Amino acid sequence: MMSKSPLMVDFTTKDGDSMIYPRAALLSSYASNWDIHFRYHSQPQYEMPEHSSNQNCIIMHHCTLQSPIIETIEGVSQASRINWGKITVLPANVRNKAFWETEYEFITLAFEPNIFIQYITEAIDVDNVELLPTLSHPDPLIHGIALALKSELESNQLGGRVYVDSLVTALMAHLLRNYSVKNPTQSFCKNALPKRKLQQVLDYIHAHLDQDLTLFKLAAIVYMSPSYFSTLFKQSTGLAPHQYIIRYRVERAKQLLLEGKLSIAEISTLVGFTHQSHLSYHFRRRFGSSPKVFISSQ
């Protein structure tokens, strides 16, 4: 008798995981166009049906439960004590299910296998590297990245797209080092970006400040992977790409404020902040006062 095929979950769609959870996610990155698909859940007692996905999925347990969760991967079950910050790694196309007896809060981070390779391929030899399934393992770094992504969504993406890409890059490198089939050989270049290539990137940032600048887009200008590009960019400028972009946006906003021709709202849009409050936040951090106070003091 043939075994029943598991449900196939697509985390890239708006309600892709609705077939395996009784409640909708409380928070989702679906509308954000990130390379990683974030969802924050609070689910009641439940027996999750067996399923698999075309995406890799990391589950970050966002609570401590008194009773264990029964996790099953490819027919092998384990009773796992769930504590705040533990993670479960579910590679793509792995059959899995779970059962919990009480209210359960968790975050899922799903991403396509090709994204995993694209983010780190130039920095590390990744031939035939695959993720290993891992059950309820404490991991402070992934915990921190998941919470940073949650905070980014809750703040209407205050840090910007390149900040998110940087978090994803750190996550991919960490997964490769600690949860992959083999221990890859590091081959990071210790030099900075060549001056010509650095100037190409800076010119692009300055000319497209009002657009959605992504780490992939910047890295593609100099034909590098995001991870490799980020490393060399920071060695060249002393700042991570997202830090440089925010600083330049704020500096440009200051220049426009001094010219006095545009409103704060217009300047905010012109320099690439999605909300005026984002400009105010970063401006205050950089110069010690809000744009409004800065103008009145001139």
Check which CATH number belongs to the domain holding 77 and give it.
2.60.120.10
63 plus 76 within the same structural domain: yes
Output the pLDDT for position 184: 44
206 plus 105 within the same structural domain: no
111 plus 134 within the same structural domain: yes
Q: How many domains does the chain have?
A: 3
Which ranges of 98-240 would DSSP assign to H, the alpha helix? 113-120, 140-154, 161-178, 195-207, 215-221, 226-237
Output the pLDDT for position 253: 92
DSSP state of 101: S
C-beta separation of 20 from 47 below 8 A: no
Of the candidates 67, 130, 52, 41, the one whose C-alpha atom is nearest the C-alpha of residue 97 is 52
C-beta separation of 63 from 77 below 8 A: no
Of the candidates 232, 208, 227, 12, the one whose C-alpha atom is nearest the C-alpha of residue 118 is 227
Question: Can you give the pTM of this predicted structure?
Answer: 0.71
Output the pLDDT for position 264: 92
14 plus 125 within the same structural domain: yes
SS3 127: coil
Output the pLDDT for position 73: 87
C-beta separation of 33 from 41 below 8 A: no
28 plus 168 within the same structural domain: yes
| pLDDT tens-place string over residues 154-203 | 998 888 888 999 999 899 989 988 888 654 444 444 567 888 889 999 99
234 plus 250 within the same structural domain: no
Output the pLDDT for position 190: 52
134 plus 149 within the same structural domain: yes
104 plus 23 within the same structural domain: yes
Instruction: Provide the domain limits for residue 289.
Output: 243-296
Of the candidates 53, 28, 30, the one whose C-alpha atom is nearest the C-alpha of residue 41 is 28
142 plus 221 within the same structural domain: no
Domain end: 146, 178, 210, which one? 178
Structure tokens at 96: 């899995």
Does the residue 172 lie in any domain? yes
Does the residue 52 lie in any domain? yes
Report the chain (298 residues): mean pLDDT per 10 consecutive residues: 73 93 96 93 96 95 89 85 90 92 96 79 57 88 96 88 91 87 48 85 92 86 81 88 92 91 92 90 89 84
> Given strand 96-100, what is the order of strands in its sheet?
7-9, 46-53, 96-100, 69-73, 76-80
